[in-house]
Structure 1
Amino acid sequence: MRFYDPTGERFGIPTYPLRLAPEGLATRRQLRAKGLRPGGQDIAAQLMWPRRGGTGTAYLYQVDRARPVRPMTPGRWRAHAAMMLARRTCPCCGRDAGYVIPTSRGHCTGCPLS
Structure 2
Amino acid sequence: MPRVNRRYFDPEGKRFGIPTWPWKLGPPPDELATMRQLKARGLRPGGQPIAGQLGFRTRQREDRFAYLYRVELALPRRPMTAAKWASIHKATRARRICPACKTERDYEIPKRYGVCNDCPGGANEAAAAA
Common fold, TM-score beyond 0.5? yes
Q: Is the 8 A contact 1:45 1:61 kept in 2?
A: yes
SS in 1 for 2:18: coil
Look up the SS of the partner of 1:2 in the other structure: helix
Partner of 1:58: 66
Give the superposition deviation at 1:113.
6.1
Which consecutive aligned stretches of 4+ in structure 1 deviate over 3 angstroms post-superposition? none
TM-score (norm 1): 0.89
Aligned residues: 114
Matched, 1:43 2:50: yes
The DSSP-based 3-state class of the residue aligned with 1:100 is coil
What is the aligned partner in structure 1 of residue 125 from structure 2?
none
CA gap 1:11/1:105 in 2 versus in 1, 3 angstroms? farther
Bigger strand fraction: 1
Letter in 2 for 1:16: W
User: Offset at 1:92?
Assistant: 2.3
Identify the range of structure 1 (95-104 vs 70-79) with the bigger mean alpha-carbon deviation: 95-104
**Letter paired with 2:48:** Q
- Write out per-residue CA displacement over residues 33-64 of structure 1, whole angstroms, 9 at most, x where no aligned residue: 10111111111111111221112321111111
Provide the secondary structure at the position in 1 that maps to 2:13.
Answer: coil
- Over the matched positions of the two proteins, sequence identity in percent amounts to 50
Structure 1 residue ranges without an equivalent (≥5): none
CA 1:42 to 1:103, structure 2 compared with 1: closer, same or farther past 3 Å? farther
Counterparts of 1:44 and 1:87, CA distance in 2: 39
C-alpha offsets along residues 46-85 of structure 1, whole Å, 9 cap, x if unaligned? 1111221112321111111111111111111111111111
- What is aligned with 1:87? 95
